[in-house]
Amino acid sequence: MYSSISEANAAVLEKVKSARPFWVDVTSAGEVIPWLAEGKHLLHAGPQIKWEEMTGPMQGACVSACLYEGWATSDTDAMAMLAGGEVQFSPCHHHNAVGPMGGITSANMPVIVVENKADGNFAYCNLNEGIGKVMRFGAYGDEVQQRLHWMREELMPVLKDALANTEGGVDLGAIMAQGITMGDEFHQRNIATSSLLLRTLAPSIAAVDASKDVLKRVFDFLSITDQFFLNLAMAFCKCAMDAGATIKAGTIVTAMTRNGKDFGIRVSGMGDQWFTAPVNTPEGLYFTGYSQEQANTDVGDSAITETYGVGGAAMVAAPGVTRFVGVGGVDAALDFSEEMAEIFVEQNSLLQIPSWNFQGACLGLDVRHVVETGITPIINTGIAHKEAGIGQIGAGTVRAPLACFEKALEALAQDMGLQAE
């Protein structure tokens, strides 16, 4: 046991800081998450949610998954099956996994396997599908199905073999340390790390025993998928935060996630318990033809990056993202990071930010600081259309709701036997 909250928090952060997540494999989700293979089971983003409560993009992604798994042959069949309660749901977070936007993951989808070499724990995340009509934003048409199948049939084996050609996988922390100096904050912007990753893996991919055509398609995909690293960053953050959560004490937030209805957080001192409050709706810039009225409420496990202290909190590192956060540009980005620094406990020496005088990214989101100041974490996020089947319409920012932090604080206080005076 720890004699004070700050001692407990220090222990949590020691675990987080000493985590060494490596990308070691790509495999079928059902291989590493057995529950998925036990029937018509799907993982989703955020805290637990029922089909009826899901917003459009998540429902659309479920339709996509039903088609992909061959449980249904048309979207209407899939809808009926889902509405009929034939499919069971569980949060990604309950299976050491995270998923962007809808977070919908099924047994035969490829997942990234990340291993924390310091503690031996694993984290999983599906593969980034690129942009446009994509499952995670709720699209489910033919284009989506084709890409999902290609990813399983060609991309997964090539990446699996490429990783096998490396010595122990890819050190993600090392790539992120470089990427943050190149303008990535690992949520809205991953182009530098995605490029670094491709550069790192290229020799191993070239050595894979596959046809030139296959390898060319893999290289083509990786060369244009700017957000490919996002899913790796998410798994990295999940792996590190889960290591911290093993301390089971303190006030550090170990997970933040959203399911379109509720925003949920977990706190180191309260184990696996979720503290939830209704989600907000992101605001930002929209693709031509779309507007704020069409924006879906906040959704996705990608807020695990903000939990770790990157994403919105590292806005100052990513001048390219500042356009999303208002006319203030670089100044506004600095303001956001300075504001976020108020609610995090320390700075991460692994991720030094040149445009912040080489201060480290934020580390250790403290429930106490959030409640004290009323400053809520800012999250850089993609924006999905609220109707199923349309997909991404923009990107911007959203705040976590204060109420879930207040609830967590009250629960922690109760757990410690404290009473308001």
- Determine the distance from the C-alpha atom of residue 231 to the mean position of all C-alpha atoms in its chain, rounded to a whole number: 6
Enumerate residues 6+ apart whose C-beta is below 8 A from 21.
114, 115, 116, 117, 123, 172, 173, 235, 236, 239, 240
* Sole binder of another protein in the list 95, 261, 368, 386 (CB under 8 A): 368
CB-based contacts of 77: which residues, under 8 Å, 6+ apart? 66
Q: Which C-beta is closer to another protein: that of 14 or that of 331?
A: 331
- Judged by CB under 8 A, the stretch of 42-50, 100-108, 270-278, 406-414 that binds another protein is 406-414
Identify the residue among 54, 304, 371, 404 touching another protein (CB under 8 A). 371
Q: State the minimum distance, in angstroms, from the CB of residue 343 to another protein.
A: 9
Does the footprint of another protein cover residue 410 (CB under 8 A)? Answer: yes
Measure CA 95 to chain center: 14
Which letter, b or e, does each residue of 352-385 get, where b requires 16 or more Cβ atoms within 10 Å of its Cβ? bbebbeebbbbbbbbbbbbbeeebbbbbbbbbbb
Give the CA-trace dihedral at 213, 214, 217, 222, to 10 degrees.
-140
What does the alpha-carbon distance between residue 177 and residue 348 come to, in Å, rounded to a whole number?
Answer: 10
Part in contact with another protein (CB under 8 A); list of ranges 86-94, 140-148, 305-313, 411-419: 411-419
The two tokens of residue 229 are: 């690293």
The nearer residue to another protein, 37 or 332, going by C-beta atoms, is 332
Distance CA 190, CA 176 (A): 9
Mention every residue, 6+ apart, whose C-beta is less than 8 A from residue 366.
Answer: 9, 251, 252, 253, 343, 344, 345
153 binds another protein (CB under 8 A): no
Closer Cβ to another protein, 203 or 328, answer by number: 328
SS3 203: helix
Contact flag: residue 412 with another protein (CB under 8 A): yes
Q: Name the minimum Å distance from CB 421 to another protein.
A: 5
Binding mask 325-364 for another protein (x = CB under 8 A): ------x------xx-xx----------------------
Cβ at position 18, least distance to another protein in Å = 24
| 3-class SS of residue 174 | helix
3-state helix, strand, coil in the chain (%, to 5): 45, 20, 30
Our measurement of the distance from residue 380's CA atom to the centroid of its chain's CA atoms, rounded to an integer in Å, reads: 11
Size of the site for another protein (CB under 8 A): 24
Nearest approach in angstroms of CB 327 to another protein is 10
Residue placing its CB nearer to another protein in the complex, 211 or 327: 327
Q: Rule CB under 8 A: choose which of 206, 285, 330, 416 binds another protein.
A: 416
Q: Does residue number 1 form part of the binding site for another protein (CB under 8 A)?
A: no
Cα separation, 100 vs 284, whole angstroms: 18
Instruction: Tell me the DSSP string of 239-283.
Output: HHHHHHHTT--SSBEEEEEEESSEEEEEEGGGTT--EEEE----E
* Site stretch for another protein (CB under 8 A), options 145-153, 237-245, 380-388, 402-410: 402-410
Measured from the CB atom, the residue of 3 and 288 that comes closer to another protein is: 3
Q: What residues from 243 to 302 belong to the interface with another protein (CB under 8 A)?
A: 251
User: Binding of another protein at residue 237 (CB under 8 A)?
Assistant: no
Distance from C-alpha of 377 to C-alpha of 416, rounded to nearest angstrom: 25
Residues 6-25 that bind another protein (CB under 8 A): none
**Binding segment for another protein among 67-75, 213-221, 286-294, 366-374 (CB under 8 A)?**
366-374
- Of 16-24, 230-238, 256-264, 403-411, the window that binds another protein (rule: CB under 8 A) is 403-411
- Residues of this chain that interact with another protein (CB under 8 A) are 5, 251, 331, 338-339, 341-342, 368-369, 371-375, 402, 406, 409-410, 412-413, 416, 418, 420-421
